[in-house]
């Protein structure tokens, strides 16, 4: 049974309260699903195995097994690189600004030179372990980003909070949200996460595609309830002042009256 209760902003947790207007009501807040870490953690574990065997292989004399293990490690390294830089980002290095292309060139050249130096002075096996260490640092950064990535739903807007040092808070007013596409893959059903594609034409900030949303069924019902449920009328206080004539000994006499109450807005 979905709980549609709302909490006043003044009673919200401290880290959320500072982002809310006092007139808002908190519906729910939650981290994104830890499945967002599934790929980087899995790639790191496989890299640990591949690096261990490749290091032993290059220390041995020779043989076909040595070549195979080194090729396996190279395939792993390519997979690990693709989890850090997707193809859009890589293509951006070539189609982006001249400064971005120069930076990517210098960064790539610097890593090649560093790996070459380590391989020459410490051996090829050290190159394998150094590359794995760099990937481990990136995975640790992803864990920190996951711990600081939240979604907050109020009766007025949807808020996404992310960032470790530089905190970024994006909010989309629900009145701007025209439609919402809710998707769950087979893996999403098994692990308990979903993807929301938010359609908000004309909005200055568009949250777009939110992946790895935890408790997706509850999220979908909560947002749908706020968007399309019948809203209770907002009562407004009114007051009427006037005069009535009363019959007196010398004829009609005016008397001031005042009526107050509420009416549906």
Tens digit of each residue's pLDDT (9 = 90 or more) over 160-189? 998 888 888 888 888 888 778 899 999 999
The two tokens of residue 223 are: 């947002």
Distance from C-alpha of 232 to C-alpha of 84, rounded to nearest angstrom: 48
If asked whether residues 64 and 76 sit together in one domain, one would say: yes
Tell me which DSSP letter residue 166 carries: S
Mean pLDDT of 75-96: 72
Q: Report the pLDDT averaged over residues 115-138.
A: 87
Q: Is residue 14 part of a domain?
A: no
Query: For tokens 């107050």, what's the residue?
Result: 260
| 100 and 197, same domain (yes or no) | no
The answer to whether 254 touches 245, Cβ cutoff 8 Å, is yes
- Domain assignment present for residue 106? The answer is yes
Distance CA 111, CA 55 (A): 20
pLDDT in tens, 38-75: 999 999 999 999 999 988 888 876 667 788 888 888 88
114, 182: one domain:
no
Domain-located, residue 10: no
Q: Where are the beta strands (DSSP E) in 84-234?
A: 150-154, 157-162, 168-173, 179-183, 193-199, 209-214
Number of domains within the chain:
3
Q: Is residue 193 part of a domain?
A: yes
Q: What is the mean pLDDT of residues 206-213?
A: 85
> For 40, how many CA atoms within 13 A lie in the half-sphere containing its CB?
21
Q: Are residues 135 and 105 in the same domain?
A: yes
**Considering only CA atoms, which of 260, 226, 264 is closest in space to residue 241?**
260
Distance (Å, whole) CA 83 – CA 67: 25
Q: Is residue 215 part of a domain?
A: yes
Q: Which of 87, 121, 146 is the last residue of a domain?
A: 146
In a domain, 49, yes or no: yes
Same domain, 52 and 111: yes
Spatial CB neighbours of 198, under 8 Å, sequence gap ≥ 6 = 158, 172, 177, 180, 206, 207, 208, 209, 210
The reply to whether 101 and 162 lie within a common domain is no
Does a structural domain hold residue 154?
yes
Which of 3, 128, 130, 10 is closest to 66 using CA atoms? Answer: 128
Could you tell me the CATH number of the domain that includes residue 181? 2.30.29
Q: Note the pLDDT of residue 84.
A: 82
- Among candidate residues 146, 164, 180, the one where a domain is terminated: 146
**Statement to judge: residues 49 and 70 lie in one domain:** yes
- Residue 5 domain-assigned (yes or no): no
Same structural domain, 255 and 205? no
For residues 74 and 226, what is the distance between their CA atoms, to the nearest angstrom?
Answer: 50
Task: Tell me the C-alpha to C-alpha distance, in Å, between residue 238 and each of 43, 46, 112, 257.
Answer: 65, 70, 76, 14
Q: Is the pLDDT of residue 228 over 90?
A: no
pLDDT mean over 219-226: 89
Question: Do 199 and 242 belong to one domain?
Answer: no
The reply to whether 156 and 142 lie within a common domain is no
Where does the pLDDT of residue 207 fall: very low under 50, low under 70, confident under 90, or very high at 90 and above? confident
Among 77-81, 146-150, 203-207, the least confident range: 203-207
**Domain range spanning residue 247?**
235-264
Is 137 found in the same domain as 57?
A: yes
User: Do 126 and 216 have their domain in common?
Assistant: no
pLDDT of residue 179: 79
């Amino acid at each position: 049974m979905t709980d549609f209760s709302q909490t006043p902003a003044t009673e919200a947790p401290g880290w959320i309260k500072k982002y809310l207007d006092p007139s808002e009501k908190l519906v729910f807040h939650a981290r994104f699903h830890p499945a967002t870490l599934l790929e980087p953690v899995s790639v790191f574990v496989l890299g640990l195995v591949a690096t261990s065997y490749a290091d032993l292989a290059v220390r041995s004399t020779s043989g076909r097994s040595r070549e195979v293990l080194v090729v396996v490690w190279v395939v792993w390294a390519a997979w690990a690189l693709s989890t850090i830089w997707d193809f859009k980002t890589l293509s951006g290095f070539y189609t982006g600004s001249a400064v971005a292309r120069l930076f990517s060139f210098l960064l790539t050249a610097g890593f090649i030179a560093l790996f070459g130096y380590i391989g020459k002075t410490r051996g090829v096996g050290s190159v394998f372990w150094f590359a794995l260490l760099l990937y481990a640092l990136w995975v640790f950064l992803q864990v920190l980003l996951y711990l600081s990535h939240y979604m907050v739903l109020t009766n007025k807007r949807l808020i996404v909070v992310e960032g470790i040092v530089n905190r970024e808070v994006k909010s989309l007013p629900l009145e701007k949200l025209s439609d919402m596409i809710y998707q769950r893959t087979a893996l999403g059903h098994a692990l308990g996460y979903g993807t929301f594609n938010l359609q908000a034409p004309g909005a200055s900030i568009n949250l777009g595609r939110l992946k790895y949303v935890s408790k997706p069924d509850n999220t979908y019902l909560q947002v749908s309830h706020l968007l399309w449920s019948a809203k209770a009328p907002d009562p407004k206080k009114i007051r009427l002042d006037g005069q009535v004539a009363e019959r007196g000994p010398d004829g009609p006499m005016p008397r001031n009256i005042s009526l107050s109450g509420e009416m549906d807005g």
